[in-house]
């Protein structure tokens, strides 16, 4: 059974306790949002997720979206759920108040996103892509376009998409063929076809606003000749309501492995009217504003699946009777013990738990930087936040979605044969989570971005906020008297040393041979992610130890569990850093040795 209740205590921990003094907080723009107010937002979001979205998750998967006579219909109940979502102001949560948003911090927004992704990943794409599109429009469009589109999109009356991929090109956008012809009135006629367009069309909103990459007639070849355009499904009338059709049509919807309640469309643009966003031939940079926002959100999708997979597996493991504990019966009153007593089941549950808590903490660190980049009054803090975001975005996207997929599979394994059939609902998590490792740039592409662009950028400056934070924490911890904290600190120091050595090796080898950097990329990203998780778990363990020593009262159970989870991470997960380091050290030789013809 799909089981979920937002982990509100852990969310409050990462929101209010974990990152005090990290230099990204204390923003004047957010002074009005007290902890009590933010906690209330999380509690209401949990009710929405549990009571409105979760009941539609399995049924939406079973029914899927429908495409009939050029019209896309979402599954039963989705329109009503979206109306409830929009009317509650959830589409506008973190948007700028200038456009009707509530202006809440990204730290809170990402926690709400997690709840939505846990309870209905397909649903999450509709408002999620709109938020990303508004980010790009706000950053690059003219004032006139902002006034015309942002209020309706922020309110959720209209939705947004990103139209990049074409049938002959995926990641290599320099090959795209969609054309943009200038018109006398300053608009453009957009002609071309796009595939894999999430939320490309549906019945949830009155209009769909597409951000489309296309080429001008005189554009240079490759990625330097791409421009970005706003292309609405319906042309807005003077009063702002949707007007005539704009030559935007759906050729088909994709038949997918999962995410069946999310309409993934093949889109045609036939002399569709559009308006340029940003500068001509610099559309890819503008689109990356949206893509980078979406990459962090896709990471949150992995975290959301991880959490509901964990909770569902725990519920089953406590209920399913099979065998006896290896140390003697734990429930002699029953014919068998619950399977949660078995070490291998515990291994799976603890792995899922560690992944979820670690990614939630690392995601909050990233979200704090997103807030600081946007709202800090200190130029040095803004720059540090920008550097940090550039470095960790590919890690968040790839690590979180890898873990989410693994957690979904572990949930199925926990259920055994019952997990493999539809009735219990966990096989849906496997299917739904799998795409997150692919879209918005495959995880291999994220790793190449990390080692090929983010590491060497600005003479390695992007590394400083991350490396300095980890180094400072290890130095601050010194040699703790607490044996557990001492072991944790030593484990992080060893993994961090492996990361530093790997960084140097990649920098040295990659300059001479780019294939060496490419061969190391995926292992390096995982290594950096493990160090990032280790940083958050060591901070959490130190806080928990201090709180318990001071007398934690009713929170004592929470802090004891936090220490137990940290212990599992440092004992069972962080040692993987050694394997990552050895793989990186081995270089490209065995990876590239086999001739292509021999495969």
The encoded tokens of residue 134 equal 């508004």
Q: Residue 288: name the closest of 494, 135, 72, 413 by CA.
A: 135
366 close to 296: Cβ distance less than 8 angstroms: yes
Q: Give the CA count within 13 Å in the CB-facing half-sphere of 526.
A: 22
pLDDT, position 269: 97
pLDDT in tens, 470-496: 999 999 998 888 999 999 999 999 999
The helix/strand/coil state of 271 is: strand
On whether the CB atoms of residues 229 and 276 are closer than 8 A, the answer is: yes
Q: Give DSSP secondary structure letters for 79-146.
A: HHHHHHHHHTTGGGTTS-GGGT-----HHHHHHHHHHHHHH-HHHHHHHHHHHHHHHHHHHHS-HHHH
pLDDT exceeds 90 at position 298: yes
Cα torsion 10, 15, 19, 25 to 10°: value is: 180
Question: If you average pLDDT over residues 45-52, what whole number do you get?
Answer: 98
In order, the DSSP letters of 206-224 are: SEEEEEEEEB-TTPPSGGG
**Distance, CA of 204 to CA of 78 (rounded, Å):** 8
The pLDDT score that the predictor gives to residue 172 is: 66
Q: How confident is the model at residue 511 (pLDDT cuts 50, 70, 90)?
A: confident
Looking at the chain, the number of H-run helices and the number of E-run strands are 18, 11
CA distance 183 to 190: 11
At residue 385 the predicted structure's pLDDT band, cuts being 50, 70 and 90, is: very high
Residues 6+ apart with CB under 8 A from 561: none
Cα angle: 245, vertex 247, 250; to 5 degrees: 100
Sequence-distant (6+) residues with CB within 8 A of 160 are 129, 130, 132, 133, 134, 137, 153, 208, 209, 210, 211
pLDDT above 90: percentage of residues in the chain: 90
Q: Which comes out higher in pLDDT, residue 221 or 4?
A: 4
Residues paired with residue 226 on neighbouring β-strands, in sequence order: 282
Q: What is the mean pLDDT of residues 115-140?
A: 95
Show the tokens assigned to 547: 């709180």
| Beta strand 234-236 pairing with 227-232 | unpaired
* Beta strands per DSSP E along 374-480: none
pLDDT at position 145 is 96
For 537-578, the pLDDT digits (tens) are 999 999 999 999 999 899 999 999 999 999 999 999 999 999
d(CA 479, CA 477): 6
Q: Which of 584, 595, 111 is nearest to 368 (CA)?
A: 111
HEC per residue, 282-310:
EHHHHHHHHHHHHHHHHHHHHHHHHHHHH
Residue 458 tokens, joined: 């600005």
Band of pLDDT at residue 357, cut at 50, 70 and 90: very high
**pLDDT tens-digit map of 438-475:** 998 999 999 999 999 999 999 999 999 999 999 999 99
pLDDT at 170: 62
- Using alpha carbons only, give the angle 267, 129, 409 rounded to the nearest 5 degrees: 100
Tell me if 167 sits within 8 A of 228, measured CB to CB.
Answer: no
Q: For residue 174, is pLDDT > 70?
A: no
pLDDT over 90 at 54, yes or no: yes
Mean pLDDT value of segment 521-525? 98
Nearby residues of 583 by Cβ (< 8 Å), 6 or more positions away: 520, 523
- pLDDT bucket at 176, cuts 50 / 70 / 90: confident
Q: Which residues carry out catalysis? A: 440
Q: Reply yes or no on whether the pLDDT at 287 is more than 80.
A: no
**Averaged pLDDT, 348-359:** 98
Average pLDDT over residues 43-55: 98
Considering only CA atoms, which of 394, 449, 400, 437 is closest in space to residue 299?
A: 400
The Cα angle at residue 39 between residues 35 and 41, in degrees rounded to 5: 120
- pLDDT of 175 > 80? The answer is no
pLDDT level of residue 154 (50, 70, 90 thresholds) = very high
Binned at pLDDT 50, 70 and 90, residue 510 comes out as confident
Number of neighbours of residue 396 by Cβ within 10 angstroms: 28
Is the model's pLDDT at 27 over the cut of 80? yes
When pLDDT is averaged across residues 390-401 and rounded to a whole number, the result is 97
The more confident residue out of 25 and 57 is 57
**Per-chain mean pLDDT for the chain:** 95
pLDDT category of residue 171 using cuts at 50, 70 and 90: low
- Mean pLDDT of the region 37-42: 98
**CA-to-CA distance for 169 and 259, rounded, in angstroms?**
22
- Give the percent of the chain with pLDDT over 70: 99
H/E stretch holding 540 reads helix 514-550
Calculate Rg over the CA atoms of the chain.
24
Cβ–Cβ under 8 Å, residues 215 and 282: no
Cα angle value 378/379/385 (rounded, 5°): 95
Mean pLDDT of 219-227: 88
Closest CA to 540 of 13, 25, 11: 13
Q: Does the pLDDT value for residue 305 go beyond 90?
A: yes
Query: For the segment 89-107, what is each residue's pLDDT rounded down to a tens digit?
Result: 999 999 999 999 999 999 9
What is the reported pLDDT for 223? 79
Closest CA to 453 of 404, 393, 384, 527: 393
Q: Which of 9, 11, 263, 259 is nearest to 113 (CA)?
A: 11
Query: What pLDDT is recorded for position 253?
Result: 96
């Amino acid at each position: 059974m799909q089981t979920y209740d937002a982990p509100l205590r852990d969310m409050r921990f990462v929101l209010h306790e974990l990152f005090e003094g990290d230099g990204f907080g204390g923003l004047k723009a957010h002074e009005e949002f007290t902890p009590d107010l933010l906690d209330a937002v999380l509690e209401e979001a949990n009710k929405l997720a549990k009571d409105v979205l979760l009941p539609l998750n399995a049924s939406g998967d079973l029914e899927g979206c429908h495409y009939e006579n050029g019209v896309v219909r979402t599954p039963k109940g989705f329109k009503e759920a979206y109306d409830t979502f929009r009317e509650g102001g959830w589409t506008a949560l973190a948007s700028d108040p200038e456009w009707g948003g509530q202006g809440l911090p990204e730290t809170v927004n990402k926690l709400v996103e997690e709840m939505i992704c846990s309870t209905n990943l397909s649903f999450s794409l509709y408002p999620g892509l709109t938020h990303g599109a508004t980010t790009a429009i706000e950053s690059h469009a003219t004032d006139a376009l902002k006034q015309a589109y942002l209020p309706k999109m922020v309110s959720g009356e209209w939705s947004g998409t990103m139209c990049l991929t074409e049938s002959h090109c995926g990641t290599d956008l320099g090959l795209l063929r969609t054309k943009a012809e200038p018109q006398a009135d300053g608009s453009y006629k957009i002609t071309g076809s796009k595939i894999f367009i999430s939320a490309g069309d549906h019945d949830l909103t009155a209009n769909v606003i597409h951000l489309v990459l296309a080429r001008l007639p005189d554009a240079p070849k490759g990625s330097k000749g791409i421009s970005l355009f706003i292309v609405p499904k319906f042309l807005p009338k003077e009063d702002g309501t949707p007007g005539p059709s704009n030559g935007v049509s759906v050729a088909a919807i994709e038949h997918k492995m999962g995410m069946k309640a999310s309409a993934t469309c093949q889109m045609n643009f036939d002399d569709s009217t559009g308006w340029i966003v940003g500068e001509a031939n610099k559309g890819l940079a503008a689109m990356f504003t949206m893509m980078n926002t979406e990459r962090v959100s896709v990471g949150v999708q992995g975290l959301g699946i991880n959490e509901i997979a964990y909770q569902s597996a725990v519920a089953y493991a406590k209920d399913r009777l099979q065998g006896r504990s290896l140390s003697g019966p734990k429930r002699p009153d029953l014919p068998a013990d619950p399977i949660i007593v078995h070490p291998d089941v515990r291994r799976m549950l603890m792995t899922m738990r560690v992944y979820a808590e670690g990614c939630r903490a690392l995601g909050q660190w990233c979200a704090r930087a997103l807030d600081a980049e946007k709202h800090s009054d200190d130029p040095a803090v803004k720059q540090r936040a920008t550097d940090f975001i550039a470095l960790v975005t590919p890690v968040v996207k790839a690590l979180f979605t890898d873990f989410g997929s693994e957690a979904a599979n572990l949930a199925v394994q926990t259920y055994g044969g019952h997990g493999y059939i539809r009735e219990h609902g966990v096989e849906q998590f496997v299917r739904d989570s799998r795409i997150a490792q692919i879209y918005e740039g495959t995880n291999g592409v994220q790793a190449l971005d990390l080692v090929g662009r983010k590491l060497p950028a600005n003479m390695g400056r992007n590394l400083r906020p991350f490396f300095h934070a980890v180094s400072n924490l290890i130095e601050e911890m010194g040699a703790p008297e607490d044996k557990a904290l001492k072991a944790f600190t030593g484990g992080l120091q060893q993994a961090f040393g492996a990361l530093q050595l790997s960084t140097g090796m990649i920098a040295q080898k990659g300059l001479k041979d780019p294939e060496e950097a490419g061969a190391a990329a995926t292992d390096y990203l995982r290594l950096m992610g493990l160090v990032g998780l280790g940083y958050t778990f060591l901070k959490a363990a130190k806080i928990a130890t201090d709180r318990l020593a001071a007398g934690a009262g009713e929170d004592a159970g929470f802090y004891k569990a936090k220490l137990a989870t940290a212990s599992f991470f440092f004992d069972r997960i962080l040692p993987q850093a050694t394997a990552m380091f050895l793989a990186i050290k081995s270089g490209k030789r065995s990876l590239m040795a086999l001739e292509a013809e021999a495969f």
